[in-house]
Amino acid sequence: EEGRRGQNGSRGGGGRARYIRDQRVLRCAQEKCMDKPGPKLDSRAETCFVNCVERFIDTSQFILNRLEQTQKSKSAFSESLSD
C-alpha cells in the first residue's frame, strides 16, 4: 500500500483530495444516517450510508464529465484558431 501511487502520481491515491472525499462521505453518513453511535448499523442506516456513497460517486462522475466537455470544447476552439 505504501508504494502504491494514485492517478496523480502521489502515494496513497491522492493524499489531501482523498481525505476531503472521505470526510464528505462520513459527514453525510453521520448527519443523515446515524441517530446514535453503536457497534452495528441497522438496515436503515446501512441503506442511507450506501445512498450517501452513491450520491458522492454520481456527483464526482458528473463533475468529471463536465470537465472533459470543457477540455474538448477548449481544444476544438484552439484548433479552429490555428486553422
Residue-level pLDDT, tens digit, the chain, 83 residues: 333 434 444 444 568 777 777 888 888 778 888 877 778 888 988 899 888 889 888 988 999 999 999 888 877 766 666 66
Question: Which residues are bridge partners to 11 per DSSP?
Answer: 5
Q: What is the largest CA-CA distance in the chain?
A: 65
Nearest CA to 45 among 59, 35, 54? 35
What number of CA atoms fall less than 13 Å from residue 6's CA on the CB side? 10
pTM: 0.58
